[in-house]
Amino acid sequence: MQIQTEVYPPGFERTILTILRHLPPERGQQLLTFARFLAFETFQTTELDFLDDETEETDNDARWDALLASDVGQNALDRLADEALAAIRAGESRPIAFGADGEIVPR
């Protein structure tokens, strides 16, 4: 597949990169997700060589690992567990049903 480049005005890519460099990381991730969405909408496939980025998953996994290993992460997990247990005890939750394939079955 060829990448189309001739329709963009001069400096277009540089402007996008400049914007990206000034965004907070979470907004940059949203920009990447939106760009992938646009590529999928345009080409109707996710199997595009220029979309492959194994380092993104590795970096994301590393950030999650670091967060969960930290006191802040553990405190957040404790709060979530406490909220879930309180909701169960108050009758504000319902069991989850799973199908034979392990997927959640709607009730």
Q: In Å, how far from its chain's centre is CA 58? A: 13
Domain boundaries, the chain: 12-89
pTM to 2 decimal places: 0.40
Percent of the chain with pLDDT over 70: 82
Token code pair at residue 53: 């980025």
Q: How confident is the model at residue 74 (pLDDT cuts 50, 70, 90)?
A: very high
Tokens encoding 19: 């914007």
- pLDDT of 58 > 90? The answer is no
Average pLDDT over every residue of 30-56: 74
Q: How confident is the model at residue 86 (pLDDT cuts 50, 70, 90)?
A: very high
Find the helix or strand (DSSP H, E) in which 95 lies: none
